[in-house]
Amino acid sequence: MKKVYLITILLFFCHSLSAQLFKIAGHEIGFIYVGPKLGMNFSKITNWTESGNFQNKSKIGYQLGAIGEIGITNRLSFQTELTFISNGTKLDDTSAANFDAKIKTKYIGIPLLARMSFNVLGLRKVYAMGGSYQNIRTGGSLVSNEYNEPLNSDGWRSIDWGLMLGAGAEYPLKEGNIGLDLRYEMGFLDAHISDAAKNRHRSFSFNLVYKFDIVDFLLKL
């Protein structure tokens, strides 16, 4: 009998679901989107020098993870992510033509962003977003054509925290939405604790995102 009650409740719940979660003033609003993301970033650690001959240059890295977006209205939503990030900085020694060195850092990123969306030029959503992020360092190394040394905990912070701003656009497909966005990240904490000038993460990233409505997906199941 308990199984019958449980099945009845589940069927009623599924029947009550729709692509929108609730209604306000007769308008169906609210949604939950999830999906993967893949991106490329151009990062730098500001003012990072081991001697007066080094210059900081951008390093190419990657981002790979998953996102979740909760919509409050058709315009306002909130987004969080779980992302594996490879970033760092490139070091150019002006006194050695053949010298090539990079500081490679790896993080797990967890941003919390607010998004404001608009309909423009036939695109379903053109949006601006902003918020904070927290990255947890999982590894890293100092690499050159002469050595490869891991970044130990001596002076290297285990977290990075800062501001994230961005904009992008989404286009509806038969199943889900595909989107592309551009983001800028500005760290507020020094990557390495030292008496030198502030050495903080800065990065631009391009991200390709595919999202689908989790409620629609459950209904089809």
Write down the pLDDT at residue 120.
Answer: 76
Fold of 2-220: Porin (2.40.160)
On the 0-12 / 13-18 / 19+ scale of CB atoms within 10 A, 10 is exposed
Write down the pLDDT at residue 1.
Answer: 53
Write down the pLDDT at residue 14.
Answer: 44
Question: Can you tell me the distance from the alpha carbon of 74 to that of 61, in angstroms, rounded to the nearest whole number?
Answer: 33
Write down the pLDDT at residue 16.
Answer: 44
Write down the pLDDT at residue 221.
Answer: 67
Write down the pLDDT at residue 21.
Answer: 56
Low-confidence residues of the chain: pLDDT under 70? 1-29, 49-54, 93-99, 121-124, 153, 195-196, 217, 219, 221
Write down the pLDDT at residue 94.
Answer: 60
Question: Can you tell me the distance from the alpha carbon of 152 to that of 5, in angstroms, rounded to the nearest whole number?
Answer: 57
Write down the pLDDT at residue 104.
Answer: 92
Query: How do 76-93 and 54-57 pair as beta strands?
Result: antiparallel
Please write the tens of the pLDDT for every residue from 8-66. 444 444 444 444 555 554 545 678 999 999 999 999 998 776 545 667 889 999 999 99
Question: Can you tell me the distance from the alpha carbon of 95 to that of 170, in angstroms, rounded to the nearest whole number?
Answer: 47
Write down the pLDDT at residue 22.
Answer: 54
Whether the CB-CB separation of 18 and 32 falls below 8 Å is answered with no
Instruction: Give me 165's structure tokens.
Output: 């701003």
With residue 18 as reference, give the H or E element that holds it: none
Which bin fits 74, alpha (ψ -120 to 50), beta or left (φ > 0)?
Answer: alpha
Write down the pLDDT at residue 210.
Answer: 96
Helix or strand or coil: residue 158?
coil
Domain ranges in the chain? 2-220
With residue 125 as reference, give the H or E element that holds it: strand 123-144
Write down the pLDDT at residue 179.
Answer: 94
Q: Which amino acid is at 92?
A: D
Write down the pLDDT at residue 193.
Answer: 83
Q: Which amino acid is at 147?
A: Y
Residue 33 Cα to chain centre, angstroms: 15
Write down the pLDDT at residue 57.
Answer: 85
Q: Is the pTM above the cut of 0.85?
A: no
